[in-house]
Structure 1
Amino acid sequence: MRLDKFLKVSRLIKRRTLAKEVADKGRITINGHQAKAASNVTVGDKLVIQFGQKLVTIEVTALKETVKKDEAETLYKVLKEEVPKDTK
C-alpha cells in the first residue's frame, strides 16, 4: 500500500494530499530510509513521522483499504513519541 494512503486510512494524517506533502518534505522515514508518498508500506515496517517538533515512531500491524474510525488505531502500534532535546 502507498504511504500516503496508509497514513490517511490509519488516520495518522487526515487528508491524503497533506500526507503527500509531509512525505515529500522528507519528514517520514520507513525502516530508516527517506520515504516518498508513493513508497510501499508493508506489515512490520517502522515509520518515523515528524509532526512539528514531535517525532512519532510507529509499527505497521495491518493493512486495509478502508476501516471505520474506531478501528483505525488497529492498523499501527505507537512505539515511541519524543520531542528532540535540541528543540526544547
Structure 2
Amino acid sequence: MRLDKFLKVSRIIKRRTVAKEIADKGRIEVNGITAKSSTNIKENDEIKIKFGNKTITVKVEKIKDSTKKEEVKELYTILDESYANESD
C-alpha cells in the first residue's frame, strides 16, 4: 500500500493530499530512509513523521484498504512521540 494512502486510512493524517505534501517535503521517513508519497508500506515498517515541532514514530501492524474509526488502533503502534524544544 502507498504511504499516503496508509496515513489516510490509519487516520494519522486526515487527508491523503496533506500526507502527499508532507512526504514530498521530505518530512517522512520509512525505516530510516526519506520516503515519497508513493513508497510502498509493509507490516513491521517504522514510519517517522515530522509535523512542525512534533515528531511521531509509528510501527505498521496491519495493512487494510479501509477501516472504521474503532479499528484504526489495530493498524499501528506509536513507538515515540516527541516535541522540539521551542526555546532552542
Q: Name the count of aligned residue pairs.
A: 87
Show the counterpart of 1:9: 9
Task: Give the TM-score of the pair, scaled to structure 2.
Answer: 0.94
Worse-superposed segment, 7-16 or 65-74: 65-74
SS in 2 for 1:18: helix
5+ long unaligned stretches in structure 1: none
Partner of 2:39: 39
Structure 2 unaligned segments of length 5 or more: list them.
Answer: none
Determine the structure 1 residue equivalent to 2:80: 80
Judging by fraction of residues, say which structure has more helix.
Answer: 1
TM-score computed with the length of structure 1 as normaliser: 0.94
Distance 2:84 2:31 in 1: 19
Q: Which runs of 4+ in 1 moved over 6 A?
A: none
Q: Which residue of 1 aligns with 2:69?
A: 69
Deviations 1:35-75 (A, max 9, x none): 00000000000010011101101000000000101111210
